Structure 1
Amino acid sequence: MKIVDFPHRLSVTCRAGNIRDLMEYEGYKFTETMLFGLSNGLSFAYLLPEETKETVDFAMISGVTHNQFEELASSLRMHYASCIPTDSELVWEHIKELLQEGKPVFLDVVLSLYLKYLDKPGLPGSSETPHTASNDFVSTWDRMFSQLQTPAGTHVTMLIGIDEIENQAYIVENNLSRIQTVPLDVLKYACNPPMTVTNHPQNRYGVYYLPTKFPNIKEATKNAIYANMHSFLYTSRKYNGINAIERLAKQMPNWLELMPREQVSITMGMMFYISEKASGGGFYRRLYAGFLREAAHLLGEDRLEEISKDYYKLSNMWRELNKQLAKGADFPESILNSTDLKVSINKIAAEERRIAECLLSLAETWRMGNESFISMD
């Protein structure tokens, strides 16, 4: 069974990009940038290896939250049904039922476990995402994964068909233009491998149920901007949001005192891969800049256009820092002890706070006197 004529285009992220394809399949036109913004996805996370509950070879650093599916469902009044079942056989029986109903299924997976089965000749990116796909997509990710002793999860693929007789699964990968075919048994293994994995997928899967009518997109956009910036600035957790960035700025020059040298080197390399290969540049700041630019046109709000430019500049600041870290990963002392690094990361932290505060201040002006702002009624 396979969903035929499933639309697929290249995208920056495995979550918002795949959701965009799903929306188009259901007959709705959304851009990846708009869906990312509506999912309240922009954030930051920073945890040293010893601070996580995971087995991990590097400091966990990300520019995004991983509850985008649920947040987007809330913004657009959709229902996202997510499962972490205990019986692997029942998982796939249910997945088959969903596919028979014409429902694409989002699967949490360990990408490295089926990477070699993906098409090696990636195609150039679309005009919307010019830097996402490259001819060395598979080899690039293979180099990254080869640095790790512990496999890493957090990737999401979209399943649109299976053929049990031929042992084939049809999946959508955001960085590759064609629908991919991988062995079904290999995909099942990647969904729940019997090994230690950073962010183990545990057979987690999910499916969207769309409403008969979406809420007012202008109000949903305003709500999402307010909620995202408020959460980013006022989280009580030191590992998230602006707290995490300011903590990173203080700790990065002292990483060799906080982590073994090998973990420091891997972290410096991983920051580059996560920023450049998994988030479209600058820990998703570039993607969020695109959302704000689109929101500016939607809402007729010139100030959003200016803040969009600020986020674009911020993404370039992150990208330059991460390139320097990657170049110095084999000799971390030379980079981490430099005055330039301290200046760069502190300037980034200051800009992160300034821009988010400007955006929240603007969102609060929308909120004043608007009873529909939060409820979207």
Structure 2
Amino acid sequence: MRAMIEDFRIVPAGHCGSGSMRNLIYHYCGLDLDEGVVFGLGAGLDTVFFTYEDADPPFMLFGRGSSMEADYAVTMGLDYEEKIQPDNDLAWEEVKQEVLQGRPTMLSGDILYLDYREYKVHFPGHRFILLGFDDKKQEVYIADRINAHAETCSMGALRRSRNPSDAISTYNRWGKFSSGTMRNSLPEACGISLKITVERMLGIDKSQRELMAEMSGKNTICEAGLKGFQTFQQQIKLWPERENAASHARYVDNAIVKFGTGGGFFRNHYAVFMVWAREQRPDLVSADSVKLAHLAADQWNALSPTMQSIAAQPTNADLWNQAHEQVDDIYHTEYTLYGQLSDTVLRAMP
């Protein structure tokens, strides 16, 4: 059996989740939004830090939460839900039936095992879209963020990616659109997403920490929001004394730019969203808040080359001091930004 959805528009993206969701909502809803706007409407921004003994270095640092795609459906009032299916055979049958019905389908998996991706790193929450399959060739056809054409992947690689036995798993998570109905207007969705983001960054909503703690298993440290940033801030000051200090610095550099963040640890995307949010909800977003969002993105981007230099010279105390100062500055910017937004958003939307 072979099936392929031919009429799906693939637009390359800076980030897998917001890029996939942008392409899916265009297909199902006819809504064409900038990727940064999609990211912000999904309340995607976060700072998640957790230790993970099986990784090298033994921690992970994410600039987004784990539920952005599902949260976009909440803010927009979409008929979209995400499911997990621990049984690999049933998991494949479920998404195969979606394709047979002509419905492109959101998948989640570890990017390391996808055989068409040249950049090899463990990332368990990679998002991509299933467009087709060929049983005879044992191939599947995927819309990913890199190219404007469908990628070819072996069925075995897809199966392992979706539920690996030797790494963090999202247990064959997949997302289903039941219709293209949108129940919330863009200004309404904007306000809802701002409230979710502010509450998560301030620690009022602890859902992202709880989700990541459950997924990562045997971590000893797991924090999100501004508290996650503070944890990163504390941890980075311990790294100069470690033998593997270079790998720590290299990982942070990758986390800021190379791990499909759209630049600036996802802050480039959020700055785009904030410009749009100012237009949609001037009652909630001030011009100063937009400036702070852009400053945070610039500061994160400036930290990246510092971490590259440290990776090359891990015993250079001056470089470490520079990095610590930059991290402190970023925290001050984001603390101020979310303090400002809390004054307007949480007062208007209790």
TM-score in terms of structure 1 length: 0.80
Give the drift of 1:29.
2.2
Structure number with higher strand proportion:
2
In the alignment, which residue of structure 2 is the partner of 1:41? 44
Are the equivalent residues in 2 in contact too, given 1:7–1:21 (CA < 8 A)?
yes
- Give percent identity, aligned residues only: 21
Question: 1:109 aligns to what?
Answer: 109
Aligned counterpart, 2:323: 341
2-side partners of 1:336 and 1:265: how far apart? Answer: 15
Distance in 2 between residues matched to 1:335 and 1:161, nearest whole Å: 53
SS in 2 for 1:202: coil
Look up the equivalent residue of 1:320 and give its one-letter code: A
Q: In 2, Cα distance between the equivalents of 1:186 and 1:23?
A: 27
1:268 lines up with 2:246 in the alignment: no
Contact residue 314 and residue 352 of structure 1 kept, 8 A: yes
Residue segments in structure 2 that go unaligned for 5+ positions in a row? 210-221
Cα distance in 2 for partners of 1:188, 1:205 equals: 13
Q: Per-residue deviation at 1:84?
A: 2.6
Size of the aligned set, in residue pairs, is 330
The 5 A counterparts of 1:122-137 are none
Corresponding residue for residue 29 of structure 1: 32
Instruction: Work out the CA distance in 2 between the residues paired with 1:217 and 1:320.
Output: 33
| Secondary structure of 2:188 counterpart | helix
Letter in 2 for 1:157: F
Give the C-alpha shift of residue 335 in structure 1: 4.9
Q: Note the aligned Cα RMSD (angstroms).
A: 2.3
Whole-Å separation in 1 of the counterparts to 2:184 and 2:262: 28
Verify the 8 A CA contact 2:191 2:284 in the aligned structure 1: no
**Mapped contact 1:292–1:304 kept (Cα < 8 A):** no
Instruction: State the distance in 1 between where 2:295 and 2:85 align.
Output: 43
Within the candidate set 147, 150, 154, 1:176 is matched to 147
Q: What amino acid is the match of 1:241? A: G
Q: Quick one: which of 221, 233, 236 aligns to 1:252?
A: 236
| Matched residue, 1:223 | 192
**Residues 210 and 232 of structure 1: CA distance in aligned 2, closer, same or farther (over 3 Å):** farther
What is the 5 A alignment of 1:62-101? Answer: 62-101=62-101
Q: List per-residue Cα deviations over 1:322-373 (Å, max 9, x = no partner).
A: 22112211432315874322221111111110111112223245x1xxxxx5
Contact 1:44 1:64 in 2 (8 A): yes
Secondary structure at 1:329 match in 2: helix
Structure 1 unaligned regions, length at least 5: 119-137, 146-150, 368-372
> Are the equivalent residues in 2 in contact too, given 1:295–1:304 (CA < 8 A)?
no
Matched residues in 2 for 1:156 and 1:213: separation? 22
Checking the alignment, whether the CA contact within 8 Å between 1:269 and 1:325 is kept in structure 2 is yes
Matched with 2:295 is 313
Deviations 1:202-231 (A, max 9, x none): 322222334534212212211211221122
3-state DSSP of counterpart to 1:22: helix
Match of 1:153 in 2: 124
Q: For the Cα contact (< 8 Å) 2:309–2:319, is it kept in 1?
A: no
Compute the TM-score of the two structures, normalised by the length of structure 2: 0.86
| Per-residue CA distance 1:19-71 (angstroms, 9 max, x = gap) | 11011112222222222111111110112335xxxx22222111110111221
Corresponding residue for residue 19 of structure 1: 21
What amino acid sits opposite 1:97 in the alignment?
Q
- Report the secondary structure of 2:74's partner residue: helix
1: CA distance, partners of 2:182 / 2:34: 18
**Do structure 1's residue 5 and structure 2's residue 4 form an aligned pair?**
no
Which residue of the partner structure matches residue 309 of structure 2?
A: 327
SS at match of 1:62: strand
Instruction: Quote the offset at 1:96 in angstroms.
Output: 1.5
CA distance in 1, matches of 2:226, 2:32: 33
Aligned to 1:242: 226
Partners of 2:346 and 2:171 in 1: CA distance: 40
Q: 1:169 to 1:318 in 2, by over 3 A?
A: same
8 Å CA contact retained: 2:79, 2:181: no
Shift of 1:174: 0.9
Please give the alpha-carbon distance, in whole angstroms, between the structure 1 residues aligned to 2:174 and 2:301.
32
* Distance in 2 of aligned mates of 1:206 and 1:97: 13
